[in-house]
């Protein structure tokens, strides 16, 4: 193998390993070796060790296929909460059966980043129906991710179970009781009598597929 200018091969190795890792697939030293046609494993190890020292890679010691991308690559974004990626159940028709049955029979699962302090069972996802929240940028067909934990707070966007139907509205709590306010001039504020409405949780994330 001919000797290459300093740093050149190193960069190629980095790009290869990075792309593997982005594909969610940590390569072994020998896989990298084969890819580049090196005749010694040690060549690869030298490069990877150097890359770790440069801070371009991170290694979990004592572990096969233990190379990782440093945090700033793997975390969703600096200001997003760090957490685990978990399959959150996407509920179909909440109206038909009760809410509990809907949780048990999800239409599918959504990979969602949830905080380490929370449990997967605190979350579910729901398809939005109707235009009533379009003023808040929540359109029909959007998917909302809902957190069930905690007591409802005035001003939050919540999912309420009302007459066997789940709806997304902004919650307001006053001395007159509970108000569910749409954010669209064409819709009226709901003032459900006590006992007829259950707050399922608050909306923490929104996803929309376009086209």
Partner DNA sequence: TGGTATACCAGACAAATGTCTGTTATGCTG
Partner DNA sequence: CAGCATAACAGACATTTGTCTGGTATACCA
Q: Which residues bind a second copy (CB under 8 A)?
A: 18-19, 22-24, 26, 28, 64-65, 72-78, 80, 84-87, 90, 106-111, 113, 120, 134, 137-139, 142-143, 156-157, 202-211
Structure tokens belonging to residue 63: 């572990």
Q: Tokens 């086209």 — which residue?
A: 211
- Least distance to a second copy from the beta carbon of 193, Å? 28
Q: Which helix (H) or strand (E) holds 144?
A: strand 143-147
| Strand 67-68 with 177-181, pairing | unpaired
Nearer to a second copy, 58 or 191 (CB): 58
18 in contact with DNA (CB under 7 A): no
| Residue reference for tokens 């030298």 | 46
Is 132 a residue of the active site? yes
Q: What, of DNA, a second copy, none, does residue 151 touch, CB below 5 to 8 Å by kind?
A: none
50: its two tokens:
């150097």
45 interacts with, out of DNA, a second copy, none, CB within 5 to 8 A per kind: DNA
Residue with smaller CB distance to a second copy, 77 or 188: 77
In whole angstroms, the minimum distance from the beta carbon of 4 to a second copy comes to 21
DSSP state for residue 120 in the 8-state scheme: G
Residue 29 binds to DNA (criterion: CB under 7 A): yes
CA distances from 33 to 4, 48, 130, 172, 174 (A): 16, 11, 56, 62, 67
Count CA atoms closer than 13 A to 200's CA, side-chain side: 27
Q: Which residues bind DNA (CB under 7 A)?
A: 1-4, 6-10, 28-31, 38-43, 45-47, 50, 61-67
Please give the positions annotated as active site: 132, 169
């Amino acid at each position: 193998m001919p000797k290459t200018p300093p740093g050149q091969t190193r960069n190629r190795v980095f790009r290869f390993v990075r792309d593997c890792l982005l594909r969610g697939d940590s390569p072994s030293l020998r896989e990298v070796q084969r890819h580049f046609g090196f005749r010694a494993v040690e060549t690869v190890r030298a490069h990877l060790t150097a890359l770790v020292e440069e801070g371009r890679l991170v290694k979990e010691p004592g572990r096969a296929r233990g190379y990782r991308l440093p945090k700033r690559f793997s975390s969703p974004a600096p200001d997003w909460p760090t957490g685990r990626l978990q399959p959150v159940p996407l509920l179909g028709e909440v109206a038909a059966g009760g809410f509990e049955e809907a949780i048990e029979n999800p239409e599918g699962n959504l990979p969602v980043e949830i905080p380490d302090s929370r449990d997967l069972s605190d979350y579910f996802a729901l398809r939005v129906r109707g235009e009533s929240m379009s003023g808040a940028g929540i359109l029909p067909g959007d998917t909302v991710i809902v957190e069930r934990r905690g007591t409802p707070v005035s001003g939050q966007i919540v999912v309420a179970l009302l007459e066997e139907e789940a709806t997304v509205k902004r919650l307001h709590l006053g001395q007159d009781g509970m108000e569910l306010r749409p954010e669209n001039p064409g819709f009226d504020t709901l003032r459900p009598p006590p006992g007829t409405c259950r707050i399922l949780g608050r909306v923490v994330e929104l996803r929309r597929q376009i086209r």
